[in-house]
Amino acid sequence: MSTTEPSPALRTSAFTCVRCGLTVSALGPDGRGRGHCPSCLSSLHTADRVGGGPSDCLGRMVPVSISVPRGGAWVLIHRCTRCAALAEAPVAADDNHLVLMRIAVRPLADPPFPLDLFGEV
């Protein structure tokens, strides 16, 4: 019995977005595999980040934040709406720029401290 069998989501070349219904090619424009929808950036919890294997959660993963490693490209942070697990995914060239920007500026639009403090320093 093989334990290295890829999950069904990885074997298929396209998947249907759980949020907006778009048919998404599992291969991005840069030839890398992708796990999230380029239109609404939602994803499905299919991989177990901690265990390294496939996850049977299959909850919907929504983009919650953007991380920028030093000198690197944008990385999208997803959170599972079912089990609250976090996952990161590289941003693809054709990902929805408007949605990406909305996520990136969200903390600035609602800061936990008054922004006018910066005017006094």
Residues of this chain that interact with Zn ion (CB under 5 A) are 17, 19-20, 22, 37, 39-40, 45, 57, 59, 80, 82-83, 85
User: In 3-state terms, the chain is what percent helix, strand and coil (to 5)?
Assistant: 20, 25, 55
Minimal distance, residue 117 CB to Zn ion, in Å: 38
CA distances 105 to 29, 36, 78, 92, 101, Å, are: 26, 20, 16, 19, 6
Residue type, 81: T
Measured from the CB atom, the residue of 50 and 117 that comes closer to Zn ion is: 50
Minimal distance, residue 12 CB to Zn ion, in Å: 16
Minimal distance, residue 114 CB to Zn ion, in Å: 36
